[in-house]
Chain A
Amino acid sequence: MENPPSRVPPSHIDPDRVATMYGELGNKLVQHAKRTQALAHLPPYQTEIVRAVTREVRDLDRDVTRLLDPFEGSFNPSADPATACALLVDHLCMRRNKRCLMAYHRVRTEKLEELCWTGVDVLEQQQPSEGGEDRGVPQAGGGQHSSLSPEEEEYFRQYGDMLAAYKGQWTDIDLTGTLEPPKDLFIDVRVLKDAGEIQTEYGVINLTKNSQLYVRQGDVERLIAQGFLERLS
């Protein structure tokens, strides 16, 4: 029953963590994810919390090694239920943190995929949205310019490539086009950003900023989604 080594107060617990219960940080991450689900855009990546949660997992793992060390590989749970309990708690906390991390990242990647399908280019849109965020809440990312982590940016890029390759198999169907039948074949649009010339069935249209055009809806759908054109009702 008596295990002097495991009674040593764990010195590796850093002072910031003392007040936090295991799994609390992971919970914070999941609350972020919950909020993300309801938002149309993607809020900044919580680099700090993610790092803190992984740090907690590492601490817990060290704790397990420390607890098991004196047994030299011959640990029998029923002979020492107290240590077994401590090990179980450590393990459960690690498992919990893993689940929180996975769920947080999954919510975000799903959002990224959704943005890919709707044709929003997150990588391009960061500049304007960033100004708004700086004025409001100081983001946890600490001076990061993008609301995506580098891994997420890479994921977005590759997913976009994959989607493009998939769509490329059917040149006469636009898979990401709207599912709503158009009411009018032609619509009025205003050009918000210069987009150069585009080829349509009816010839070449030159899209210069602030010009107003009467064009076929199918031709410009993508450009509206990408924010080059604005539809006038």
Chain B
Amino acid sequence: MSYYDIDSILTDAQVKLDPSPEKLPCTFELEVPGLGILEGNPGEDIKAGTRIDLPLWLGEMLSIGARLGTSRLVTLDMPDALAERVMNALKADPRTVDLRALAPHFYTLSERILEIFEEEEMVDVLIDTFKKRAAEISDHAHNPRGAVGEGVDFLRGLDETERQLFRAAHDRAKEVRIWAGEAKKK
């Protein structure tokens, strides 16, 4: 995850007007003057106890004060994309969950969130999810079933990491065929 990595910047982002799930529900612990712009009221103050969805890049740093034990600025909640409900669905069957609808950068988001929260069980569920889905992705990449096959819904629900995985698996299979002389270029 480099400073210049576009995908990692997008993981951190949340556009307020867009109902993106990659947001961090934060509760302000103290009254802050002039910060109303975060809520969409520029010039106003933020009252203690206000709940706002902040982008990850902002919420993460604001919450650090709480961990250092100095002053507590905001408290964080789990974002919707990683709610209990989602975890249960993933435990039941990882392949039927539309990760993209939850968060376009689902795995990178989880990674970042788990740096903040300590959730051993969630780590296991996510690793298991990735493994099961990776096998399925590889199957789809090697045996294309066209645009109307049963796998369409699954492929549409891939998050960004999985899309890249799919593309890599698909392209490599083709390249091996070219190398072996079974297929022609282009």
Give Cα A63–Cα B31 distance, bound, in whole angstroms: 18
Check A85/B30 contact, CB under 8 A, given A34-B10, A99-B3, A102-B4. yes
Check A30/B15 contact, CB under 8 A, given A7-B33, A81-B73, A92-B58. no
Q: Which residue of B lies closest to A3 (CB)?
A: B33
Which chain A residues have a beta carbon within 8 Å of chain B's beta carbons?
3, 6-7, 9-10, 13, 17-19, 21-24, 27, 30-31, 33-34, 37, 63, 67, 77-78, 81-86, 88-89, 92-93, 96, 99-100, 102-103, 106-107
Q: Which of B21-39 contact A (CB under 8 A)?
A: 30-35, 37-38
Interface string of B48-67 (1 = CB under 8 A from A): 00000001011001100000
Give Cα A19–Cα B42 distance, bound, in whole angstroms: 8
Number of B positions contacting A (CB below 8 A): 33
B34: contacting residue among A7, A21, A103, A106, CB under 8 A = A7
10 shortest A-B CB distances, which residue pairs?
Answer: A9-B43, A81-B71, A21-B16, A27-B13, A85-B32, A103-B4, A106-B4, A30-B9, A85-B73, A82-B32
> What's the minimum C-beta distance from B41 to chain A, rounded to whole angstroms?
9
Which chain B residues border A84 with CB–CB below 8 Å?
71
Tell whether B70 is near chain A: CB-to-CB under 8 Å.
yes
In the complex, the answer to whether A103 meets B9 with C-beta atoms within 8 Å is yes
Which among A24, A27, A30, A78 has the highest number of chain B CB atoms within 10 Å? A27
Which chain A residues border B57 with CB–CB below 8 Å?
23, 92, 96
Check A21/B61 contact, CB under 8 A, given A27-B13, A78-B71. no
In the complex, the answer to whether A83 meets B33 with C-beta atoms within 8 Å is yes
Give Cα A20–Cα B33 distance, bound, in whole angstroms: 19
Tell whether B40 is near chain A: CB-to-CB under 8 Å.
yes
In the complex, the answer to whether B58 meets A93 with C-beta atoms within 8 Å is yes
Check A31/B34 contact, CB under 8 A, given A93-B58, A99-B3. no
> What's the minimum C-beta distance from B170 to chain A, rounded to whole angstroms?
16
Which chain B residues border A82 with CB–CB below 8 Å?
30-33
Which chain B residues have a beta carbon within 8 Å of chain A's beta carbons?
3-7, 9-10, 12-13, 15-17, 30-35, 37-38, 40, 42-45, 55, 57-58, 61-62, 70-71, 73
Q: Which residue of B lies closest to A28 (CB)?
A: B15
Give Cα A122–Cα B15 distance, bound, in whole angstroms: 33
Which among A3, A22, A84, A89 has the highest number of chain B CB atoms within 10 Å? A89
Check A88/B62 contact, CB under 8 A, given A82-B31, A82-B32. yes
In the complex, the answer to whether A85 meets B62 with C-beta atoms within 8 Å is yes
In the complex, the answer to whether B43 meets A89 with C-beta atoms within 8 Å is no
Which chain B residues border A19 with CB–CB below 8 Å?
40
Q: Which residue of A lies closest to B36 (CB)?
A: A9
Give Cα A149–Cα B77 distance, bound, in whole angstroms: 43
Give Cα A7–Cα B61 distance, bound, in whole angstroms: 24
Give Cα A85–Cα B65 distance, bound, in whole angstroms: 10
